[in-house]
Amino acid sequence: QVQLVESGGGLVQAGGSLRLSCAASRGIFSIMGWYRQAPGKQRESVATITRGGTTTYADSVKGRFTISRDYAKNTVYLQMNSLKPEDTAAYYCYVQRVSGDGIHYWGKGTQVTVSS
């Protein structure tokens, strides 16, 4: 079974930075990324990166967040700079297998809280 280990969440002041990490125990993934969900809001895609390095970002985080992959470590990172209170949410790692079977996995979530 694929296990996703997330880390890096926490409490920061507005304008601060955090770096989220998600390490997958095994597998080759076509997409790795991060979603977030705030209380009372719909879960949304924050950033994704394909195996080929193509990235996507939510408009709300463009210019502030950077997603990257370490293939050797099978890990995806999300560098979050200039954090805003609106970024407060539970952040979930997401990975999709490259096999074409549609199998994907979610991390258990890591809380990011930005104070003002």
pLDDT, tens digit, 9 for 90 and up, residues 5-59: 999 999 999 999 999 999 999 888 999 999 999 999 999 999 999 999 999 999 9
pLDDT at residue 99, as a whole number: 80
Instruction: Reduce the DSSP state of residue 87 to 3 states and report it.
Output: helix
Query: Token pair for residue 114?
Result: 């930005």
pLDDT at residue 100, as a whole number: 76
Quote the percentage of the chain above a pLDDT of 90.
92
* Cα 100 from Cα 5, distance rounded (Å): 23
